[in-house]
A and B are shown apart, each in its own frame.
Chain A
């Protein structure tokens, strides 16, 4: 029995070894090395020189790091619920559709295929304060739209709205979960006289709560690591000289320190702080939301 287990384990290890090697070389080692680099002064070209925890001390005194962290946190708090609500709404619509569901599923997913850099440029066009489509639409109702791309108060809401462009994958995941909710539950509720809203709130949402929880965690991590769209629109190709502090997300600041200012040691410290922050936030999310998640087979 033991020898069979050994043989199976060896075979399994052999099969996963390509991935394992890739993980060790391209993920684990850089992660470990970055921990070391965070304790050094390193400019990519010259040897790192060990400076202890100086980078971490600098980090906690750096007002821009604080600003970037606040911006990222605010964006996350705004974008994650918005993405979940919109994804759930679209998935519910798709689930109740009787015709052309395949077409709509594809249509909703297609924007997800847009390269993030293009989304950043698209943001500048759609949200242009003078001639953008969004303000043009608001203008139909007599609303003088804001300066989405320059007014610090409206930059993050603009980015949040733009992030909804790519909710397609979440819609597809939620839709799959909706299809798995047993029909008899709805039938019983109907017999009891429950309306659409009550059925959604009392049956649908609890039954797909593990999926919503998964998306909540994944979307939060993605939002905390937001980079490309905001960088393209406010710091990169879209604006080579114009920048807006309101869009300075943590990952953008990290990138600037690493690859523009060549402070790779400091950037490594920034990366580790982000790692700790994401871990802490994820832990809190798991603890707080545990009682709201319903698992059919009991707690996992």
Chain B
């Protein structure tokens, strides 16, 4: 202890311990849900509400934000644009200075709700008279946690089969050979369509879109990755193993995932030189927004569309989307509730659709519809669609059909870890590091451990 260095070290450690003993978290307990009185549909609001994670960058957003702002009868809407930054959001909640409303992915809602970062909207829904029956039931399920609605859903993303009709025809195939209804036909079609002269992949026959669409392939065999209550992982069921084995085999038949991914990565995905326009891709299941992209940048691409189908021939899609939630500690929860409600009303969506129709008409392009996450708005907007001729009209029809046959992943308190577990397993198989069974067994253990821990923490916090 006589050594000055030792003395200083001991002093520093003691000081650190003393300081840490004083350290306190910046968070607090769960905030009580605002009472029904705070959510009055006739109330006027002053000042400004801050919206984090939403940019009114197109007419669909701008029109609705305009209407939502008007509905506040005085208050101004300030947008913090860009995708929701979780770090920024949670820090602001912990610091007691959160935005009034956030725009999040629906699969994040369970995690935020379980930690008390957002408030249940039971009072908001009741007070503002929000008719939740107008929302898509899958979308609503994704934002319902512990029996309470925690967010107002909007938009729906679903997948359909998109194919290059020219390549199909040249190979003597039809869209029915690649729409998922017959897996043997998909394998055969992939082998017929693929072109790899000198070992260099020039045409991808079929892209099964792993890792992201494993839930779709698994569901087409009747398997869910997660139990309906969000508590039990089902990642290593025989159906999921079979689905992964098949989807990977499609890549193997075309020279391996590395080559398909390299071709995918080097393509001009959003531009005129996309894989369909350049006849470099036979078919793949893809989210519906890509129909709009293709129609926009390469209207002459020889496309063919159908829903993604189960082996029984039934349409199937894996739905995801966005949602509005009110953070714990929001200073103007009443205005935030009104904002979220107005953004998702049927009339707001119709106004946004009209704005888009005008925009598209000015460019001489058709209006291909919007999947709003609101079933009544979807029905109204479907009537407003303007014909674009074939194949685009078939594409739009497939999108709406898929939307009517969608499923979703239930809300859970460990969405990111759960997703990381199954996607990590798929990636290990794609990279040749593990076989499907072993990878999914490991994913099952990881996912279940994360779910158990998160549910236990939620139970501890709420009891």
Binding site for B on A (CB under 8 A): 29, 32-33, 35-37, 40-48, 124-125, 128-132, 144, 147, 149-152, 241-246, 256, 259-262
Task: Tell yes or no: B431 within 8 A of A by CB.
Answer: yes
| B199 surroundings in chain A (CB, below 8 A) | 144
- Find B423's partner among A124, A128, A150, A241 (CB 8 Å cutoff): A241
Q: How distant is the Cα of A39 from the Cα of B199 in the complex, in angstroms?
A: 54
List of 10 A-B pairs having minimum Cβ-Cβ separation, nearest first = A36-B20, A147-B258, A130-B262, A129-B262, A47-B25, A150-B258, A131-B266, A241-B212, A48-B25, A44-B90
Q: Which of chain B's residues 21-44 have a Cβ closer than 8 Å to chain A?
A: 21, 23-25, 27-29
- Find A245's partner among B19, B115, B201, B424 (CB 8 Å cutoff): B424
Contact B433 A147 (CB under 8 A): no
Q: How distant is the Cα of A150 from the Cα of B424 in the complex, in angstroms?
A: 13
Q: How distant is the Cα of A256 from the Cα of B416 in the complex, in angstroms?
A: 9
Q: How distant is the Cα of A260 from the Cα of B450 in the complex, in angstroms?
A: 13
**Could you tell me the distance in whole angstroms from the C-beta of B208 to the nearest C-beta in chain A?**
13
| A242 surroundings in chain B (CB, below 8 A) | 211, 261, 427, 430
Q: How distant is the Cα of A261 from the Cα of B262 in the complex, in angstroms?
A: 29
Q: Which of B94, B261, B457 has the most CB of A within 10 A?
A: B261
Could you jot down 6 A-B contacts, CB within 8 Å?
Answer: A45-B90, A45-B328, A124-B265, A261-B417, A261-B420, A261-B450
Mark each residue of chain B from 73 to 90: 1 if its CB lies under 8 Å from any CB of chain A, else 0: 000000000000011001
Contact B262 A259 (CB under 8 A): no
Q: How distant is the Cα of A47 from the Cα of B258 in the complex, in angstroms?
A: 45
Contact A129 B117 (CB under 8 A): no
**Could you tell me the distance in whole angstroms from the C-beta of A71 to the nearest C-beta in chain B?**
13
**Could you tell me the distance in whole angstroms from the C-beta of A157 to the nearest C-beta in chain B?**
15
Task: Tell yes or no: B188 within 8 A of A by CB.
Answer: no
**Could you tell me the distance in whole angstroms from the C-beta of A97 to the nearest C-beta in chain B?**
37
Q: How distant is the Cα of A245 from the Cα of B439 in the complex, in angstroms?
A: 13
The tally of CB-CB contacts under 8 A between chains A and B is: 119
Q: Which of B20, B86, B212, B263 has the most CB of A within 10 A?
A: B20
- Find B433's partner among A43, A44, A129, A152 (CB 8 Å cutoff): A152
| B424 surroundings in chain A (CB, below 8 A) | 243, 245
| A243 surroundings in chain B (CB, below 8 A) | 423-424, 427
Q: Which of chain B's residues 166-195 have a Cβ closer than 8 Å to chain A?
A: none
| A36 surroundings in chain B (CB, below 8 A) | 20-21, 23
Q: How distant is the Cα of A18 from the Cα of B52 in the complex, in angstroms?
A: 33
Question: Which single residue of chain A is at the shortest CB-CB distance from B117?
Answer: A45
| B211 surroundings in chain A (CB, below 8 A) | 241-242
| B27 surroundings in chain A (CB, below 8 A) | 44-47
Contact A259 B201 (CB under 8 A): no
Question: Which single residue of chain B is at the shortest CB-CB distance from A40?
Answer: B25
| B87 surroundings in chain A (CB, below 8 A) | 259
| A40 surroundings in chain B (CB, below 8 A) | 25
Q: How distant is the Cα of A246 from the Cα of B20 in the complex, in angstroms?
A: 36
**Could you tell me the distance in whole angstroms from the C-beta of A300 to the nearest C-beta in chain B?**
18
Task: Tell yes or no: B16 within 8 A of A by CB.
Answer: yes
Contact A33 B201 (CB under 8 A): no
| B261 surroundings in chain A (CB, below 8 A) | 129, 149-150, 242
Q: How distant is the Cα of A41 from the Cα of B212 in the complex, in angstroms?
A: 31
Contact A244 B86 (CB under 8 A): no
Question: Which single residue of chain B is at the shortest CB-CB distance from A155?
Answer: B431
**Given pairs A46-B461, A129-B262, A242-B211, 20 additional interface contacts (CB within 8 A):** A33-B20, A36-B23, A43-B457, A46-B27, A128-B262, A129-B258, A129-B261, A130-B266, A132-B266, A147-B259, A149-B258, A149-B265, A241-B212, A241-B423, A242-B261, A242-B430, A243-B424, A244-B427, A245-B424, A259-B87
Task: Tell yes or no: B102 within 8 A of A by CB.
Answer: no
Question: Which single residue of chain A is at the shortest CB-CB distance from B267?
Answer: A131
Q: How distant is the Cα of A40 from the Cα of B20 in the complex, in angstroms?
A: 11
| B256 surroundings in chain A (CB, below 8 A) | 147
Question: Which single residue of chain B is at the shortest CB-CB distance from A131?
Answer: B266
Contacts A130-B263, A241-B212, A245-B427: A150 and B257 contacting too (C-beta < 8 A)? yes
| B24 surroundings in chain A (CB, below 8 A) | 47
Task: Tell yes or no: B116 within 8 A of A by CB.
Answer: yes
Question: Which single residue of chain B is at the shortest CB-CB distance from A43?
Answer: B115
Q: How distant is the Cα of A44 from the Cα of B117 in the complex, in angstroms?
A: 9
Q: Which of A45, A129, A151 has the most CB of B within 10 A?
A: A45
Task: Tell yes or no: B227 within 8 A of A by CB.
Answer: no
| B201 surroundings in chain A (CB, below 8 A) | 130
Task: Tell yes or no: B428 within 8 A of A by CB.
Answer: yes
| A246 surroundings in chain B (CB, below 8 A) | 431
Contact A152 B93 (CB under 8 A): no
Q: How distant is the Cα of A244 from the Cα of B153 in the complex, in angstroms?
A: 32
Question: Which single residue of chain B is at the shortest CB-CB distance from A256?
Answer: B420
| B266 surroundings in chain A (CB, below 8 A) | 125, 128, 130-132
Task: Tell yes or no: B383 within 8 A of A by CB.
Answer: no
Q: How distant is the Cα of A131 from the Cα of B204 in the complex, in angstroms?
A: 14
- Find A261's partner among B93, B416, B430 (CB 8 Å cutoff): B416
| A256 surroundings in chain B (CB, below 8 A) | 420
| B457 surroundings in chain A (CB, below 8 A) | 41, 43
**Could you tell me the distance in whole angstroms from the C-beta of B294 to the nearest C-beta in chain A?**
20
Q: Which of B212, B328, B420, B461 has the most CB of A within 10 A?
A: B420
Q: How distant is the Cα of A264 from the Cα of B421 in the complex, in angstroms?
A: 19
Contacts A129-B259, A147-B259, A242-B261: A262 and B212 contacting too (C-beta < 8 A)? no
Contacts A245-B431, A261-B416, A262-B111: A147 and B262 contacting too (C-beta < 8 A)? yes
Q: How distant is the Cα of A149 from the Cα of B256 in the complex, in angstroms?
A: 13
Contact B262 A245 (CB under 8 A): no
| A149 surroundings in chain B (CB, below 8 A) | 258, 261-262, 265
**Could you tell me the distance in whole angstroms from the C-beta of B201 to the nearest C-beta in chain A?**
6
| B416 surroundings in chain A (CB, below 8 A) | 260-261
| B94 surroundings in chain A (CB, below 8 A) | 44-45
Q: How distant is the Cα of A35 from the Cα of B431 in the complex, in angstroms?
A: 37
| A41 surroundings in chain B (CB, below 8 A) | 457
| B115 surroundings in chain A (CB, below 8 A) | 43-46, 262
Q: Which of A124, A144, A150, A152 has the most CB of B within 10 A?
A: A150
